[in-house]
Structure 1
Amino acid sequence: MQAYNKSQELIAEIEKAARLFIAEFDSVEEEEKNKRLEGVDRSPMQMIAYQLGWLSLILRWDADELEGKEVIMPAPNHKWNQLGGLYDSFYTKYASYSLEELRDMFEKAVTEMVAWINTLSEQELFEQDARKWASSTPSRWPVWKWIHINTVAPFKSFRGKIRKWKRLNT
C-alpha cells in the first residue's frame, strides 16, 4: 500500500503543478504568445513548448527501452552539455500552434504522463536501476526522480517565469 500512496502522491503533485502552470496562460493573448521580454528568458509559447518537449522525451525513452531500441538521451543529435539546441528543437516543433492548441497539447501530455505512471510497478518507479535509460547517467536516478525533475520542478519554476512575463507585459 505504501508504494501506491507514493505513486499517487507523485501524480497529485504533477497534476497540481501542471494545473497551476497552465492556468497562468488564461490571460495571455494569442498575438503575444511569441513576445520576448527583457528579464524573462522565454516567450509564453517557448515555456509551453519546453514542457511538451520534456514530457515527450520521458515517454519516448521508456517506450524505446521497452521496444528493445537504443535509448538516446537526451535526444538524437543532442548532448546533455548542449541542451540549448534541444530547447530550440522544441520551440521549432511547436511554433506553428496557437496558444489554445499548445494548452490542449500540454493537458493531454500531462494526462498521458499520469496514465503511464499508473502502469509502473513500485520497483519500476521508485527503485534505482529499474530502467536502463534512468540509470544511464552518472546520477542513476530512479524513474520517479526523472519524472519529478522534468514535470513538477519545471512546472513550478516556469509558473514563476510566466507570472513575471505577465507583470512585465502590463
Structure 2
Amino acid sequence: MQEYTSKEAFITEIRKRADLFIKEYQDIKEEDKDLRLDEGERTPFENLAYQLGWLALIQDWEKTEREGQTVEMPAPGIKWNQMGPLHEQFYADQEGKSLADMITLFNQLVDTTCQWLASLDDEVLFQPGGRKWAQSTSSNWPVWKWVHINTVAPFKSFRTKVRKWKILRTA
C-alpha cells in the first residue's frame, strides 16, 4: 500500500486522484449514466454513487465518534463480509440525481474530507489508535489507511473502470 511522507502529501494525492477520476465523467451523457455495457460491471452512475457513499461514510464515522457514540463498522447493520446491501444503499441514496449534481456533491465531499484531514494532528492521522473507529478491526490501522483505501485506491481503480466503460461504449 502506498505510504505518505506528510499530511500535505496525502491530501495532495487524494485531490489528484479525485480530479483524475471525476474528469472521466466530463464526456458521459446524462442519458448514458445507467448503461451497463459489461455483465457484472458497474454503470457510470453506480461507480460515482459508490465513491459518494464511501466519502460520506468516512465523514459519518468521524461525526458519530465526535458525538461520543460508538461507530458500527462499516455501517449500522452491515458486516464487512456482506457489502452488497451497503453498496445498494449507496446507489439508492443517489437515485434520481443527475450526473452534474453527483459531480458537485463528489467535489464537495472531497473538499470536506481534505479539510477534515488537514485539521487532524499528525499523531491522530498516522499512528494507530488515532480514532476508535479506526481500531474496529484486528488490523488497528491508522486513520490515513482507512481514508486511503476508501479514497485514493478506489479513485484509481474506478477511474480505470469508467475508462473501460467509455471504450466499450464507443466500440
Q: Give the TM-score normalised by structure 2.
A: 0.95
> Using the alignment, how far apart are the partners of 1:30 and 1:99 within structure 2?
6
1:38 aligns with 2:38: yes
Match of 1:51 in 2: 51
Instruction: Give the C-alpha shift of residue 39 in structure 1.
Output: 5.1
Number of aligned pairs? 167
Identity over aligned pairs, percent = 49
Q: Which amino acid aligns with 2:132?
A: K
Q: Which amino acid aligns with 1:34?
A: D
1:40–1:165 contact (8 Å) kept in structure 2: no
Matches of residues 9-158 of structure 1 in structure 2 within 5 Å? 9-38=9-38, 41-158=41-158
Q: Which amino acid aligns with 1:17?
A: R
Instruction: Give the C-alpha shift of residue 37 in structure 1.
Output: 1.1
Secondary structure of the 1:46 match is helix
Q: Which amino acid aligns with 2:146?
A: W
Secondary structure of the 2:35 match is coil
Instruction: Give the C-alpha shift of residue 136 in structure 1.
Output: 1.1
> Using the alignment, how far apart are the partners of 1:122 and 1:160 within structure 2?
31
1:7 aligns with 2:7: yes
Instruction: Give the C-alpha shift of residue 45 in structure 1.
Output: 0.7
Instruction: Give the C-alpha shift of residue 96 in structure 1.
Output: 0.9
- Structure 2, gaps ≥5 residues long: none
Deviating beyond 2 angstroms after TM superposition, the runs of 4 or more aligned structure 1 residues are none
> Using the alignment, how far apart are the partners of 1:118 and 1:99 within structure 2?
28
Q: Give the TM-score normalised by structure 1.
A: 0.95
> Using the alignment, how far apart are the partners of 1:154 and 1:133 within structure 2?
20
Instruction: Give the C-alpha shift of residue 138 in structure 1.
Output: 1.1
- Kindly provide the CA deviation profile for residues 79-138 of structure 1, in whole angstroms up to 9, marking residues without a partner as x: 100001100000011021001000000000000000100110011100001111001111
Instruction: Give the C-alpha shift of residue 40 in structure 1.
Output: 5.9
Instruction: Give the C-alpha shift of residue 154 in structure 1.
Output: 0.2
> Using the alignment, how far apart are the partners of 1:65 and 1:71 within structure 2?
6
CA-based RMSD of the aligned residues comes to 1.2
